[in-house]
Amino acid sequence: MDWKPLTNLQELNEVIDRSKQVPCLIFKHSTRCSISFMAKHRLEAQWDFNATEIEPYYLDLISYRNVSNEIAERFQVYHESPQILLIKDGDCYHDASHLDISVEEIKEVL
């Protein structure tokens, strides 16, 4: 997986704009949580998308909590960690957290 870092609000705006060309996945990761590490590992192990199908973005929500808070507010989702949000055409089409994070769910939504 070729994670693109998400570290500030300008990049979040760019991801939202980019989602109008290609779906974007935001993975909100807590570096202090073993469940988050497990969810990230499972996602990476199952990932079989090519770069033109979906772009994955990684948010360290401990370091960039303001970005995480803005994501929750902008897309009207409850903040959780770990959490994925599938952004397409500027909107969140799917969000999942903890062990509900899976490549199969993402494929179903796409």
- Looking at residue 64, which CATH number applies to its domain? 3.40.30.10
Computed on alpha carbons and rounded to an integer, the radius of gyration of the chain in Å comes to 12
The 8-class DSSP code of residue 40 comes to H
pLDDT band at 78 (very low <50, low <70, confident <90, very high): confident
Write out pLDDT tens, residues 35-71.
Answer: 999 999 999 999 999 888 999 999 999 999 999 999 9
Over range 94-110, report the average pLDDT.
91
Record the pTM: 0.94
**Number of folded domains in the chain?**
1
Residue 80 belongs to what domain range? 4-109
User: In Å, what is the CA distance from 10 to each residue of 14, 52, 53, 109?
Assistant: 6, 23, 23, 26
Q: pLDDT tier at 98 (50, 70, 90 boundaries)? A: confident
